[in-house]
C-alpha cells in the first residue's frame, strides 16, 4: 500500500524534473549574469507568473482571511501547524548534531500537543522553550552541501537547488500531507489553510517590498538568500567582507 503511494510520488517527481530540465535548457544564460542566479531568465518568467496568480487569486483570499478571522483563531492556526512541524524540526536539529535543541523541540511537541490542546496554544514558548527553525535544506547545508543555483518555482517560490531537494524531503515527511492516508478532503483543506495562513502572515511585508525595491524580483531573491544563510547559522552568520 505504502509502496503504491511512493511509486506514484516518484513518477510525479520524475515528470516534473524532466519538464524543468527542458525549460532550463531552453534558457541559455547571457554574458553578465549573476553567478548565484544563472537561470535568471527562467526565474523571472516564473516570478511574473506567480506574481500574477498571487494578485488575482491568493492575495485576495489571504486578505479576506486576515480581515475576517479573529486574531486568536489566526494564532491558533499558526500554532497548530507550528506544532505539527516540531517533530521534523527536532529530527533536523538532531541530524545537525544540536542535541540540546532537539530535546527542546521534543519537549515542545509533548507540551503543546497535550497542555496546549493539539497544538492550538504554544504553551511551551511561554515556558521559555524557544521554537527553532530547521528543515532538511539547512541540515544538508550543515553537512556541507552548497546552495547550488537559485530558482524561482511556480507555487513554492524561491529555493536554491539544495533547498529544493530539502523541500521535497520536508514535504514527504510533512504530517499535514500525510493526512491523505486518511482523507484527501481533510488533507487538501489543511494544506490550503496552511498556505493561506502563511500568505496572510506575509501581507505586511508586501507593502515594504513594493516600496523599498528598485527591482522586486532581485530584492526578493537577495532577501531570500540572506535569510537562508541566517537560518543555516541559527541567527549568527559570520560576517561577509565587503
Partner 1 sequence: MKKLLASLFVGLVATAAFAEEAPDVLVNKITDEVLEIVRKDKDIQSGNTRKAVELVDTKVLPHFNFQHMTALAVGKEWRKATPPQQQQLIVEFKTLLVRTYSNALTGYKNQKIVFKPFKMNPGDTDVLVRTEVLQPGAKPVQLDYSLEKLEGGWKVYDVNVAGISLVTNYRDQFTQEIRNGGMDGLIQTVAAKNKSLESTLVKVDK
**List of residues contacting partner 1 (CB under 8 A):** 32, 34, 71-72, 74-75, 78-79, 82, 131, 201, 204, 207-208, 211-215, 218-219, 221-223, 226-227, 229-231, 235, 237, 242
* Of 195, 230, 228, 179, residue with least CA distance to 53: 195
Nearer to partner 1, 75 or 95 (CB): 75
How near is the Cβ of 121 to partner 1 at its closest, in Å? 11
Nearer to partner 1, 45 or 201 (CB): 201
* Of 113, 104, 89, 77, residue with least CA distance to 197: 77
Nearer to partner 1, 27 or 82 (CB): 82
How near is the Cβ of 166 to partner 1 at its closest, in Å? 17
Nearer to partner 1, 19 or 48 (CB): 48
How near is the Cβ of 80 to partner 1 at its closest, in Å? 12
How near is the Cβ of 195 to partner 1 at its closest, in Å? 17
Nearer to partner 1, 180 or 201 (CB): 201
How near is the Cβ of 170 to partner 1 at its closest, in Å? 17
> Can you give the length of the chain in residues?
242
How near is the Cβ of 217 to partner 1 at its closest, in Å? 10
How near is the Cβ of 109 to partner 1 at its closest, in Å? 16
Q: DSSP assignment of the chain, as one string? A: -HHHHHHHHHHHHHHHHHHHHHHHHHS---TT--TT-TTHHHHHHHHHHHHHHIIIIIHHHHHHHHHHS-HHHHHHHHHHHHHHHHHHHHHHHHHTT-HHHHHHHHHHHHHHHHTTTTTTS-HHHHTT-------HHHHHHHTT----SEEEETTTEEEEHHHHHHHHHHHHH-HHHHGGGT-HHHHHHHHHHHHHHHHHHTHHHHHHHHHH-SSHHHHHHHHHHHHHHHHHTTT-PPPPP-
Nearer to partner 1, 170 or 197 (CB): 197
Nearer to partner 1, 73 or 156 (CB): 73
Q: Which three cell numbers stand for residue 173?
A: 515527511
- Residue in the structure block whose three cell numbers are 540572506: 226
Amino acid at each position: 500500500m505504502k509502496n503504491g503511494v511512493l511509486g506514484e510520488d516518484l513518477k510525479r517527481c520524475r515528470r516534473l524534473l524532466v519538464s524543468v530540465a527542458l525549460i532550463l535548457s531552453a534558457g541559455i544564460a547571457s554574458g553578465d549574469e549573476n553567478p548565484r542566479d544563472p537561470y535568471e531568465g527562467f526565474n523571472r518568467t516564473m516570478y511574473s507568473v506567480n506574481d500574477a496568480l498571487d494578485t488575482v487569486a491568493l492575495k485576495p483570499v489571504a486578505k479576506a482571511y486576515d480581515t475576517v478571522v479573529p486574531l486568536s483563531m489566526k494564532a491558533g492556526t499558526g500554532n497548530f501547524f507550528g506544532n505539527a512541524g516540531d517533530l521534523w524540526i527536532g529530527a533536523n536539529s538532531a541530524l545537525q548534531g544540536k542535541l540540546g535543541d532537539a530535546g527542546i523541540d521534543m519537549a515542545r511537541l509533548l507540551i503543546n500537543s497535550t497542555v496546549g490542546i493539539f497544538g492550538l496554544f504554544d504553551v511551551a514558548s511561554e515556558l521559555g522553550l524557544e521554537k527553532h527553525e530547521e528543515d532538511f535544506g539547512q541540515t544538508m547545508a550543515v553537512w556541507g552541501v552548497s546552495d547550488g543555483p537559485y530558482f524561482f518555482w511556480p507555487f513554492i517560490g524561491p529555493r536554491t537547488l539544495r533547498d529544493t531537494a530539502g523541500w521535497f524531503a520536508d514535504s514527504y515527511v510533512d504530517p499535514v500531507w500525510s493526512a491523505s492516508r486518511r482523507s484527501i478532503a481533510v488533507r487538501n483543506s489543511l494544506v490550503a489553510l496552511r498556505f493561506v495562513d502563511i500568505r496572510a502572515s506575509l501581507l505586511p511585508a508586501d507593502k515594504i517590498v513594493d516600496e523599498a525595491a528598485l527591482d522586486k524580483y532581485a530584492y526578493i531573491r537577495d532577501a531570500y538568500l540572506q535569510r537562508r544563510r541566517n537560518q543555516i547559522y541559527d541567527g549568527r552568520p559570520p560576517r561577509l567582507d565587503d
